[in-house]
Structure 1
Amino acid sequence: MSLKAFVPTLILEKPTSGKERDKSGIQCLEVCGKNLYLGGRDSLVQHFVLPGADGPGAQGRGAGVREARRRQLGSRSPILQLGAIPLLNHLLVLSDGSLSALNMFSLEALPGLRRIRAVSLFRLHGSEGAVELFTVSARKKAASVHVVAVDRWECVREVPFPQEPLGLAVDGACLCVATGDRYFLHDREAEATLDLFPHDSPKHAIVLSAVGNGEFLLHAPGALGMFVSRRGVSCRPPVQLSEGVLGAAVHFPYVLTLSCEALCIYSILDQRLKQTVPLHRAKGLLSTPESVFVFSEREVHCLSPVPLQEQIRALVASERVDEALSFVQGVESLLPEDSYKALHRNLTRMAGFVKFYQEDFSEAKDLFIKSDLDPRELISLYPELSPLCEDFKSQHSTVFNARELQTLGEGSAECRSYRSFLADFLRTVRRTDQSHGCQQGVDGALLKLYAMRGESAELVDLLSSLNNCVLSVCVPCLEHHRRFFALGLLYQSHGQDHNAIQTWVDVVNSDDPDSSSFPVYEHIVNLLRQQKDGRLVWRFADWALQKSQEVGVQIFSGREEDSDPLGEEEVLGFLTKYPLALVLYLEHLVYALKSKKERHHTLLAMTYVTQVLQAMETGKVTDTPVNPTRDKLQRFLRESTSFSTAVVQERIRLTCLYEERALLHGVAGEHSQALSILVHEKEDPQAAEDYCEQFGRPLYHVLLGLYLDPARLAPAAAADLLNRNTAAFDPVAVLRALPGAWSLTLVSRYLSESVRGLSHRRKMGRVERSLAKVEHLRHACTRTAVTRGMVKVERGQVCQRCGRSLTEPQFLRSLRGELIHTHCWSNEQPPT
């Protein structure tokens, strides 16, 4: 058959004796420990003692079984049922419709236990030291419950059923009854009866057996072995039985069904037929915790279960690993915890390898993770990766479908799929407990796989973080596959910054594809920026700035706060060869680091001036402030107070940077000179007016004086200034400054707007004073209304202004007849 679950042994064979043959046949059987009891058709009870498991003749054909006692009952009716109560040393015998009790060893009748008459079948149930006896009578639609003691038994209750019981099974408080056409389930605690389903079995072939844990096996229509729980539901798939079943028993994890010529053994776990034992004219079977007994008219067979480990090994040997794994999971409760865990782990690994070689990679990955497979077991299977695990010895057994991966063609689809699976598995277990102790092998294998498969992004991710790659193994691999950017990351992750930078410099200087695929230059700058030691910085700074001043200056301006600072003066001296980098570094010092050193501010201003003048000389810009550098220069001159004004003035004194020269005079408080530059040299009246607006309105009179200077008299400009900025001038001062020869028409607009403005301001002043008086009167009225009334002060109240208790004696004395002290008033508002 598909599996050898039980080993059958003939343990007893009764001799035939001519005429007495038909009368002396075996009718029923009971086993209790090493005690075997047979009930004959001639009312004979026989007691046999079975040999021990290791006793002589245990494996022989009936050898070692000896008869201890026999007793012939009074009547010649067949014995229908036997039942042993080891707790009380009782043997119950059902014969001729009566139930009697004998001593288990002497087979003598027990006088204190009178016969129970009209019994068609019985069941025993023991719990917590008490023994219950359930009897069924053909005359009643009920089962009687007896409590059995050493010298008596007593009927304590009856459980009624809708129909006459023909079969009974007991499991705790639950009773399952078979009638002529139906099955019923009765809960003794809830006193509730549940109608299950009909059956079509004849009376002599009713299958009803207790499985355990409140579950029963019933023979359902269609030759189905149905499992029913105490709630009346089926929690397992049914077993498809053969036709002509005479009886059934459960010996977990198997269901054994008996027919006239064979015993069929089915698995409860997968509902398949596992073994068939040929028998001749078998009559019944009995399941005990140790084994199963089957008897016929003259023979008794013992079916000893094959040890679970042997069954599992047999399944594995027959290449049924999945079935073996399911079997182990199903019999977990029958195995010691440590043994189960080890067995389950080994089988799970083996199943994983079977799936692995079948290229069912998803299932294989799950099984490898569940079984906590050492990643090196897989790595060692790949020839190109095996050097990573030279010192590792595989612990798993070779499975039946194992194949040599080196036979796969390099670059074939099969080869790619196996490598892809390994990379996926290693990514999953990396940094988990499963890879503990073999991180170097895992990271090295991933690096090699990524390099071989051209997975540059994954390779960069691996090496950009903490890793356990071994340089002596991984460096040659990366060089062979020309992964030079990744090689630099590998050096960096192992603290070899010089090698990393030198590798990247070679990449940038060459035509290697890595230089365009990755921001190699930026990585160099970033690594130099992070250096705590300045030696590497000065070694590669020139190269970095020659490539890009704007990016390379970040080596100095973007350094980490905890890095050893480079000398500012040394950096400034070095950057004199790189004007753009120098400006950016000075801006970093002034704006980011908030430096107040005069040298830094002055040098930045001078650098701005130099850049602006150079641009103007090359014709790239005009003298108008429309380029960014000139805007930055003007903003710097307005905002900075730390640069040397004299030095900057001397630099731009003879240049066409009129606005900058004016700003410098303004910073020095020389507003007349600043306005003179804007009016006479730049010849930009609007710029002069903007200057006055920026530095203060009184400067409008200074600007008017420049226009009215007899040496450079500009009447039109003076008139325009007055007309555009009427509110900025004092009319009296203007009239005094204007030449007497001017006509009234020239300044009529200014005069009319000025007079109108004075009148408006005077009227608005009156309105504001009147509003202030009204507001004052409103507050005074509110205060008067509040202070005239009575205020009730309760104990515990406090002043919301000072927090003192209002009932404090010192506080009350300070009131002096007023509602509250004046220090509590704020903005004339009464207290709340």
Structure 2
Amino acid sequence: MKAMYDAYEPLPILEKFPLQIETITAYDGNLVVGTKQGHLLMYSINSDSTSRMKINLLRSNKNFSRKPITQIAVVPEHQILISLSDQMISIHDLTVFNFPLLSTLQETKGAVAFDLDIKHNISLTGEAFVTVRLVVAVRRKLQFYYWKARQFHSFEKDLSLNDTPKSLLWCGEAVVVGLRYDYWLVQLTGEQKELFATGRSQQPLMTKLSDNCLAVERDEKTIFIDTDGKTVCNNLEWKEQPSALIYDEPYIIAIVSKSVQVQSQNPILHIQTIDIEKPKFLTYAVTNKNKKQVFVASATHIWSLCPVPISIQIPQLLAAKEFTFALKLADLWDECTKSKENMKQHIEKLHAFHFFCQHDFVGAMKLFYELNTDILFVIGLYPDLVPEEYRARVSYPHPVPVLPEDQLKMRQRLTKESSNQTSTLSPSVKTVPQKLQIIDTTLLKCYLKTNDSLVVPLLRMPDSRVSDEEGEKVLRQAQKYQELVLLLRIRGYHSRALEFLLRHAKKEDSPLYGHKPTVQYLQKLGPDNMKHIFEYGSWVLKSFPEDGLKIFIGDDDPSEVESLPRTRVLGFIKKTQKSLAIPYLSKAKRREVREKLQKFLKVSEHYTAATILVHFPHNDLFEERAILLGRLGQHQVALKLYIDTLLDVYLILLKLLLRTSRNTSPCSSSHGSPLVSSIAKKEDGREINYEVVIFDILKNYWQRIDLAQALKSLPDDMNIQNLKSYILRSLIHLTTMQKDNQIVRGLSQVILHQAKSELSSTQMQKILLSDKTVCCVHFI
């Protein structure tokens, strides 16, 4: 088993001890040694400026016991020492030079082992106090005591066992007992639970990791259990069965054969093997900084295991790519908060980079996101995605691996998540617009490789920051000519876009072949770009007069070209293709007439829609027919007409969904849901990206669309996050309406009750009428 690095440095503090060491314990910089000859000695241990250990004998008692001292423990809070010698428990005073005897627990005659449970508590008045409980194994019984008034008192009846214990350890409100053949969990209530066998050696060995976790030895394995005796994590394995075991967070230290071995529990790592001559005992003292000072002893020597500074251990762990354990060490680092956090961020960043190198992109991206990593660093992991002007500014701890082709799909996920973070700007990206440009350009490259249907929505976004130069370059390389024209048009490079269309109009294998792409482009330019319209519309007008005329009169919907100055257009047509002047004027005139007709149908109340509808042609005037259908309340038929024939989503939105009838209530909200579900496809069934349109409808006209019906009608692949605003507003509106109705209902019931009371009161009044009764109102 190969060691990773040195976590401890063994320093001898007591050599060639003239007596035979039988047991040791330590506390507050003091080391207490019990010998086979019955001597008890206490040493103070300090480290000097050279990190060497100095040991001084404070006190000793040669007549402490007539028999070997087999076990000792100290309770510094109460200044007492508990010893096991001659099979009996004794309590001694630590404040006096020769450890005088305070008391002997006569009931413990025949004791083989004991353990203390020391707890620090806070009273209701805020005062700190320490409770001490003692469990003693006496033959085949357990005895329980508590400390009070300078002596131990029994607080539980003795519990009988199947065999004589060899070791025992407190575990919450229970005791784990190591017998010859097995381990048992014994509750203070008397309930006993068998855990598992001790193994071949029949030498039980235990140590406490925390109040809720123990390490129990079984042959060459260390098993970790909780207070219920259940295994809590993976087992730890040793070369041979340990003879002693302690825990110094985060390390498990064991005496194995002729050496001391150091391992970690989580993750399981073999850290170090320390060669020491005949080690036998392990103990530790808790220092003032709540750290442990570990001691190792043989029969005649004692060493201190001085921890190597964590600042030295962490780089060795990073070199071995043990990032999880390095983070655990960083948490234990006695350094200022800022330095500790910087070290942890450095470790996690290296960990994320390691995930990426191992093609664990989800793990890498999760860490990068949590660390708020600079966006350029993340995108730079894919060198072909980074704009050339930024590529040289990014450096990495190791060479970035080349990804196989089947991993390219992870790019979209990576950049999508990275674009959502709000990281601080690095020196390589000095402004927010630069950062956004890198993100959007990277998204464009990812979409081109993974899902090119998302390219157009990205370019159409109002706040899209795709780099002009880089975007044009990658779109040309991917032969996405339509998307390239869209980018140039959005960025206002009309001359370049129209020149590009002109060149490709003559290439039969191009998706832009023919004159129609040029016509569609020119129709969208508007009156501010008349120069471009006249310059690049002339060749279409000459070669394809009928389609060229559509540049100025539009297709089925003339709204795109309505704002063009007619006088200038007419002059250009006369100059370029004189024969089209009359058709242009007639089309313009017809458009004016239709506008008047539509206005009349919408506003006037002096006609019967059913009578007029009979005279409308079935192959023309579809929009006017839809208006009449709306007046008749046939909204479903009108919707179908708009969607199947007019194919204009915004026209549907503005002229059908929001239309109200003079004679009826506004267009029912139940008609908004078919609209939402129907606009996801065109007449020919091809999928089109109308998510933005649907979101606009739901956002701006939510009061006219039924929530339940709309959610049922929406496509399954729509992003529910984008519907959050609509759903919240609809629910608030419905809740408000319900509360208003409840208030109105309550008020109505009150008014009804008052009316009934007045009626009942009036009916109870007695009125006498006779021939002499005179009406006070009508009498004259």
Aligned counterparts, 1:564-643, within 5 A: 576-578=582-584, 581-582=587-588, 585-586=591-592, 588-594=594-600
Displacement of 1:185 in angstroms is: 1.6
Residue 463 of structure 1: which of 459, 462, 465 is its match?
Answer: 459
Q: Find out whether 1:353 has 2:353 as its counterpart.
A: yes
Deviations 1:475-504 (A, max 9, x none): 46656776553333334444x274586467
**Mapped partners of 2:131, 2:515: distance in 1:** 83
CA–CA distance in 2 between the matches of 1:799 and 1:47?
94
- The partner residue of 1:300 within 288, 299, 302 is 302
The alpha-carbon distance between structure 1 residues 596 and 167, as it changes in their structure 2 partners (threshold 3 A), is closer
Counterpart residue number, 2:422: 433
**Other-structure match for 2:112:** 120
Given candidates 229, 233, 236, the residue that maps to 2:230 is 233
Once structures 1 and 2 are overlaid, which stretch shifts more, 37-46 or 575-584?
A: 575-584
Tell me if the contact between 1:799 and 1:806 (Cα under 8 Å) persists in the aligned partners: no
Q: Distance in 2 between matches of 1:526 and 1:133?
A: 91
Looking at structure 2, the residues matched to 501 and 120 of structure 1 have their Cα atoms a distance apart, in angstroms, of: 95
Contact residue 170 and residue 176 of structure 1 kept, 8 A: yes
Cα pair distance change 1:179/1:107, threshold 3 Å = farther
Q: Bigger shift: 209-218 or 424-433?
A: 424-433
Match among 64, 69, 94 for residue 59 of structure 2 = 69
Deviation at 1:518, TM superposition (A): 13
Contact 1:224–1:241 (8 Å) recurs in 2: yes
SS at match of 1:126: strand
Q: Does 1:25 align with 2:20?
A: yes
CA distance in 1, matches of 2:533, 2:761: 75
Call closer, same or farther: CA 1:195–1:379 in 2, change over 3 Å. Answer: closer
Q: Name 1:265's counterpart in structure 2.
A: 262
CA offset at residue 533 of structure 1?
8.7
**Residues 541 and 812 of structure 1, relative CA distance in 2, 3 Å threshold:** farther
Q: TM-score, normalised by structure 1?
A: 0.61
Deviation at 1:458, TM superposition (A): 4.3
Structure 2 distance, partners of 1:595, 1:508, is: 45
Deviations 1:586-605 (A, max 9, x none): 4641444448999xxxxxxx
Report if the CA contact (8 A) 1:8-1:301 is conserved.
Answer: no
Offset of residue 242 of structure 1: 3.3
Structure-to-structure mapping, 1:788-799, within 5 angstroms: none
In structure 1, list runs of 5 or more residues that go unmatched.
18-23, 406-413, 599-624, 640-795, 818-832
Residue equivalent to 2:687: none
- Contact preservation (8 Å) 2:409, 2:450: no
| TM-superposed deviation, 1:350 | 2.2
**Deviation (angstroms), 1:29:** 0.6
Q: Match of 2:316, SS?
A: helix
Aligned residue in 1 for 2:177: 177
Kindly indicate whether residue 250 of structure 2 is the aligned counterpart of residue 253 of structure 1. Answer: yes
**1:61-115 Cα deviation digits (max 9, x unpaired):** xx52122221112543111112111112222232222333334364433454445
For residues 536 and 256 of structure 1, the distance between their equivalents in structure 2, rounded to whole angstroms, comes to 82
- Structure 2 residue aligned with 1:134: 134
For residue 440 of structure 2, give the secondary structure of its aligned residue in structure 1: helix
Q: Relative to structure 1, is the Cα distance of residues 355 and 332 closer, same or farther in structure 2, using a 3 angstrom cutoff?
A: closer
1:280 aligned residue: 277
CA distance in 2, matches of 1:517, 1:214: 79
Name the SS for the 1:232 alignment partner. coil
Q: Distance in 1 between matches of 2:198 and 2:458?
A: 67
The 3 A distance-change label for structure 1 pair 380 and 592 is same
* Alpha carbons of structure 1 residues 348 and 454: separation in structure 2 relative to 1, 3 Å: closer
DSSP 3-state at the match of 2:458: helix
Alignment of 1:446-461 (within 5 A): 446-447=443-444, 457-461=453-457
Distance 1:15 1:448 in 2: 74
Take 2:86 and 2:28, find their aligned partners in 1: how far apart are those partners? 27
> C-alpha displacement at 1:385, in angstroms?
5.5
Shift of residue 527 of structure 1? Answer: 3.2
Equivalent in the alignment of 1:11: 12
Rg larger in structure: 1
* Structure 2 match to 1:786: none
CA–CA distance in structure 2, aligned partners of residues 44 and 507 of structure 1: 105
Q: Decide whether the 8 Å contact of 1:227 with 1:234 is kept in 2.
A: yes
Measure, in 1, the Cα distance between the counterparts of 2:58 and 2:27: 14
* 1-structure distance, mates of 2:377, 2:268: 35
Q: Which residue of 2 aligns with 1:506?
A: 502
Q: 1:493 to 1:207 in 2, by over 3 A?
A: farther
Structure 1 residues 556, 76: CA separation in 2 closer, same or farther (over 3 Å shift)?
same
**1:676 aligned partner:** none
AA partner of residue 461 (structure 1): P
Q: Does 1:84 align with 2:74?
A: yes
1:147 aligned residue? 147
- SS at 2:277's partner residue? coil
Match of 2:318 among 316, 319, 328: 316
Deviations 1:303-362 (A, max 9, x none): 233344433310222xx32xx223145567635876665445433432443454455656
Task: Give the CA deviation at 1:176.
Answer: 1.2
The answer to whether residue 81 in structure 2 is matched with residue 102 in structure 1 is: no
State the Cα distance separating 1:261 from its structure 2 match: 0.8
| SS at structure 1 position matched to 2:303 | strand
Q: Which amino acid aligns with 2:14?
A: E
TM-score (norm 2): 0.64
CA shift for structure 1 position 180:
2.7
| Aligned position for 2:776 | none
- Counterpart code for 1:302: S
Evaluate the alpha carbon distance shift between residue 161 and residue 264 of structure 1 in structure 2; reply closer, same or farther with a 3 A threshold: farther
C-alpha distance in 1 between matches for 2:450 and 2:140: 84
Asked whether the equivalents of residues 26 and 32 of structure 2 are also in contact (C-alpha less than 8 Å), the reply is: yes
Letter in 2 for 1:195: E
Residues 494-522 of structure 1: CA deviation (Å, up to 9, x unaligned): 4x274586467536644372415999458
CA distance 1:521–1:257, change in 2 (3 Å): same
1:58 equivalent in alignment to 2:59: no
Please say if residues 51 and 58 of structure 1, whose CA atoms lie closer than 8 Å, have aligned partners that are also in contact: no
- Aligned alpha-carbon RMSD (Å): 4.7
CA distance in 2, matches of 1:332, 1:570: 76
Query: 2 CA distance for matches of 1:108 and 1:87?
Result: 19
Aligned residues: 595
| Pairwise CA distance, 1:25 | 1.0
Equivalent residue of 2:199, what SS?
A: coil
Structure 2 partner of 1:199: 198
Secondary structure in 1 matching 2:353? helix
Q: 1:524 Cα deviation (Å)?
A: 2.4
5+ residue gaps in structure 2?
A: 122-128, 286-290, 426-431, 574-580, 605-614, 629-749, 771-780
Residues 1:464 and 1:260: Cα distance change in structure 2 (over 3 Å): same
- Determine if contact 1:550/1:580 at 8 Å carries over to the other structure: no
| Corresponding letter in the other structure for 1:97 | Q
**1:2 counterpart SS class:** coil
Give the whole-Å Cα distance in 2 for the aligned partners of 1:250 and 1:139. Answer: 28
If asked which structure has higher relative contact order (CA below 8 Å, sep 6+), I would say 2
Residues of 2 paired with 1:363 and 1:577: CA distance? Answer: 65
Change (3 A) 1:430 1:558: farther
Residue 11 of structure 1: CA displacement? Answer: 2.8
> What residue is the counterpart of 1:738 in the other structure?
none
Q: Within 5 A, what are the aligned runs for 1:326-475?
A: 326-328=324-326, 334=332, 342-357=342-357, 361=361, 364-380=364-380, 387-388=387-388, 390=390, 393-394=393-394, 397-399=396-398, 402=399, 422=411, 424-433=413-422, 437=432, 438-447=435-444, 457-465=453-461, 466-471=463-468, 473-475=470-472
Task: State the shift of 1:449 in Å.
Answer: 6.2
1:45 aligns with 2:19: no
Aligned to 2:239: 242
> Structure 1 residues 565, 146: CA separation in 2 closer, same or farther (over 3 Å shift)?
same
Whose strand fraction is larger, Structure 1's or Structure 2's? 2
The percentage of aligned residue pairs carrying the same residue is 17
